[in-house]
Amino acid sequence: MNLQVPTQASNPRRQGFPPGGSADINARIVAQGLASQLSGSIVPDNKPGAGGNIAATEAKRATPDGYTIFYSTSAIVLAPSLYPNVQFDAFTDFVPISLTANIPLVLVTTPNLPVSNVKDLVSYAKANPGKLNYASSGSGALLHLGGALFAKEMGIQVTHVAYKGSAPAITDLISGATQFMFFR
């Protein structure tokens, strides 16, 4: 997420994830704290897509005027391994300021799936190969990779369903359109 300190000369920048997900929530908490410390306003502006690559590219191209802060996740470090035409280098194009959150991945299931623990989920998936869908915040995102690793390690056949962020993925998980996901 880009956190923008409004000025007449500034252009809004955006976060790489849609509203409602953990990255957005954390960025808004940081923006609120910064606004308090700076006695001004900070405007979070979301720009989802391509696992945060679109926002990262835009942040890289922003005028270095001191008014733009790019709020990101580990996605920008993973990007070169997952996407062929990444327009930024996470190690040279950005200067880290602070770690703001360390969030573990949590396995969650839809309420109507007849399981109550991980062992039940794995048994159910093995008994129903290829019939379970797992949601993620996007192809190549940490939630996708967590689900893929889980499926591989557990020896289950499941289908990945990529969303434009974790908030829409959670909506479909709750409704039962997908059966499980990793969330942070």
User: Whole-angstrom Cα distance, residue 87 to residue 48?
Assistant: 16
- Whether residue 112 is found in the same domain as residue 173: yes
Domain CATH number, residue 178? 3.40.190.10
Residues 6+ apart with CB under 8 A from 26: 71, 100, 101, 103
Give me the mean pLDDT over the 22-40 stretch. 84
Q: Are residues 110 and 177 in the same domain?
A: yes
- For residue 132, the enclosing domain spans 106-183
In the predicted model, what is the mean pLDDT of residues 100-114?
A: 91
**Residues 34 and 66 sit within 8 Å (Cβ to Cβ):** no
Residue 91, domain member (yes or no): no
Q: How many domains in the chain?
A: 2
pLDDT digits (tens, 9 = 90+) for 122-167: 999 999 999 999 999 888 888 899 999 999 999 999 999 999 888 8
Domain presence at residue 90: no
pTM of structure: 0.69
Q: What is the DSSP string of 76-111?
A: HHHHHHH-TT----TTTS------------EEEE-T
pLDDT bin (cut points 50, 70, 90) of residue 13 is very low
Residue 37 is predicted with a pLDDT of: 87
As given in the structure block, the two tokens for residue 4 are: 């923008």
pLDDT of residue 141: 82
Q: Is residue 60 part of a domain?
A: yes
Establish if 88 belongs to a structural domain.
Answer: no
